[in-house]
Chain A
Amino acid sequence: MATLEDSFLADLDELSDNEAEMDENDGDVGNEEEDVDMDMADLETLNYDDLDIVSKLQKSQRYIDIMQKVEEALAKDSDGAEKGTVLEDDPEYKLIVDCNQLSVDIENEIAIVHNFIRDKYKLKFQELESLVHHPIDYARVVKKIGNETDITLVDLGDLLPSAIIMGISVTSLTTKGSPLPEDVLQKVLGACDRALDLDSARKKVLDFVESKMGSIAPNLSAIVGSAVAAKLVGTAGGVSALAKMPACNVQVLGHKRKNLAGFSSTSQSRVGYLEQTEILQSTPPGLRARASRLVAAKSTLAARVDATRGDMAGINGRALREEIRKKIEKWQEPPPARQPKPLPVPDSEPKKRRGGRRLRKMKERYAVTDMRKMANRMRFGTPEESSLGAGLGEGYGMLGQAGSNRLRVSSVPSKLKLNAKVAKKLKERQYTGGATTSGLTSSLAFTPVQGIELCNPQQALGLGSGTQSTYFSESGTFSKLKKI
């Protein structure tokens, strides 16, 4: 099964390369895979006229053999299950496995034939293909219409829902197609018959498999249903192979890998054949992922029971199914109603002091920084620098001192408003010590009586001549000199 799929994908990639093969493989009937290669190439070139080039399945030996066996088995309807023998040796079991593969092949074949019909019929009625999607319905409709130009004369009531019939009648009035030539018409009708034959054959095979599944894997079919069970067993390659798989693999058996380049695979739900089970179809979409995991797990257990043929009556399977159903129901029930909670007794719960990394990080924001620690300490013997100089402003402590490898202190002006006393002292320092006095300041004062007068600018500011300095000023001297 997997190899076929892979070969299809490979073929789509190298479609043009296969043109050359077409001529060589004309006569080959037996090999299934090569036929398929050719068919893909044929689609591309649209160079075929004969249906038999396109669809060779019905003529292949394998197909004929298996169909024969199926007919026999259906007619016989044997139900003597040999409990003693190993499952794999049972000839019926082999037939089931073959039938699974065949049903997939038939499906592909139908698709190919559908393409053939569609391409031929496009000349007559192009829009029909977009109105009727299902290949078998399309084949039936084409067969019914034939070469008729007036669709209203054709009775499609039993084939399609009335809405689509209406759509068809309307579009047929405006279609630009023309009636087909006789030989093409014959080919098309032959292809339709072929498609319908294949469909009925597929149905037969599936029915057979379903009926036998109950005796081959009763527990598994009890959970997932016989059709899906048959598909799972077919893909796995046997009941024991299915039993050996872990449940996560069973979940994705049959998953169609649709992710083209650039699309994320997380948006796809990873469910395969299990998606078609009755259980999953009836669960609401929100719970599908959980339910699929549950069903996969339980069906793996059932497969293990079946592989060892421990329980041929299917009791285990039914019990597991019941369990699954109950669990899914439990997930869907609403949460219990909220009770009004009474207030806690005051002061009964001690305050929970929380610790941990988060609190420590928060506390770090308000902790004493290293810079501040250095500023708080002072060196012995050397006066510390301060922001406004001479003991005014903030002291810098160990910062900026030679010998300490800490920060240089940059002169960022503080935004604090200085109080009057400190401001005055700062101004005095500026005047006495500052080397950067403005060149435009003048010490000359113009008085009306004496004319030009040199005066001390500090006096104007009320600073005096340095006698009014602070206790700790480095430019100041003794504040009071008293003659003893």
Chain B
Amino acid sequence: MSSLLLKTLTKKEEIDRIIRDTIDEVLVLRFGRCTDTVCLQHDDILAKSVTDVSKFAKVALVDVDSEDVQVYVKYFDITWFPSTVFFFNAHHLKLDSGTADHTKWVGAFHIKQDFIDVVEAIYRGAMKGKMIVQCPVPPERIPKYQLLYKDV
């Protein structure tokens, strides 16, 4: 239901366009399926915070089932859905949340305030020129996962 409020991208050009066109705003891209339950929970939180964060962030959903988008899925190495990638002025920002993978946020946020805090931290870091920021979410609310290296 909440994906009705958020834009869903299915084509590569759309993703390119939106990354290029968001200027001075954090771009939040969620990679996932709209049928997955965890994705739905994650989307719900995103939808609720869109208006609050609208002055300095933009949120978009990427449907991982379309073929165009597989390029990006492979590039960002997304295996668990939902995964959230943050951009600022076409730069990909990294988030150190104590997990193995800093390039994205894996899983759903527990509360709305967590998401807003993360976006704010990314914004502040980006405005200062940093490429990686510390995650302000306390560790009990960060979804834990194990990174299995395959073919390495």
Contact = CB atoms under 8 A, between A and B. Distances in A.
Interface of A: 340, 342-347
15 contacts: A340-B51, A342-B53, A342-B55, A343-B52, A343-B53, A343-B55, A343-B56, A343-B116, A344-B55, A345-B55, A345-B56, A345-B123, A346-B56, A346-B120, A346-B124
B127 to A, nearest CB: 7
B3 interface: no
Contacts of A347: 124, 127
A344 B51 CA distance: 11
Interface residues of B, number: 11
B86 to A, nearest CB: 14
B58 to A, nearest CB: 12
Contacts of B116: 343
B51 A342 contact: yes
Interface in B116-152: 116, 120, 123-124, 127
B66 interface: no
A79 B9 CA distance: 82
B123 to A, nearest CB: 5
A342 B52 contact: yes
Contacts, number: 23
Contacts of B127: 346-347
Nearest to A343: B52
Given A346-B120, A347-B124, A347-B127, A340 B52 contact: yes
Majority DSSP secondary structure for residues of A touching B: loop
Contacts of B56: 343, 345-346
Nearest to B116: A343
Interface of B: 51-56, 116, 120, 123-124, 127
* Residue in A343, A344, A347 whose Cβ sees the most chain B Cβ within 10 Å: A343
A81 B134 CA distance: 90
A340 B127 CA distance: 26
A344 B127 CA distance: 15
Nearest to B54: A342
Nearest to A340: B51
Contacts of A346: 56, 120, 123-124, 127
A213 to B, nearest CB: 59
A347 B55 CA distance: 12
Contacts of B123: 345-346
Contacts of B52: 340, 342-343
A343 B123 CA distance: 13
B116 to A, nearest CB: 7
A207 to B, nearest CB: 65
A343 B116 CA distance: 9
* Residue in A340, A342, A344, A347 whose Cβ sees the most chain B Cβ within 10 Å: A342
Nearest to B122: A346
B112 to A, nearest CB: 11
A115 B33 CA distance: 92
Contacts of A343: 52-53, 55-56, 116
Contacts of B124: 346-347
A337 to B, nearest CB: 15
* Residue in B52, B53, B55, B127 whose Cβ sees the most chain A Cβ within 10 Å: B55
A52 B134 CA distance: 103
Lowest 10 A-B CB distances belong to which pairs?
A345-B56, A342-B54, A343-B52, A342-B55, A346-B120, A345-B55, A346-B123, A346-B124, A342-B52, A342-B51
A236 B123 CA distance: 72
Nearest to B121: A346
A1 B14 CA distance: 86
A342 B120 CA distance: 13
Contacts of A340: 51-52
Given A342-B52, A342-B55, A346-B124, 13 more contacts: A340-B51, A342-B51, A342-B54, A343-B52, A343-B53, A343-B55, A343-B116, A344-B55, A345-B55, A345-B123, A346-B56, A346-B127, A347-B127
A340 B55 CA distance: 13
A340 B116 CA distance: 15
A347 B123 CA distance: 9
* Residue in B54, B56, B120, B127 whose Cβ sees the most chain A Cβ within 10 Å: B56
A342 B48 CA distance: 11
Nearest to A344: B55
A141 to B, nearest CB: 71
Contacts of A342: 51-55
A314 to B, nearest CB: 54
B43 to A, nearest CB: 19
Contacts of A344: 55
A134 B120 CA distance: 75
A286 B120 CA distance: 47
B51 to A, nearest CB: 6
A9 B116 CA distance: 74
A340 B52 CA distance: 8
A343 B120 CA distance: 10
B97 to A, nearest CB: 19
Contacts of B55: 342-345
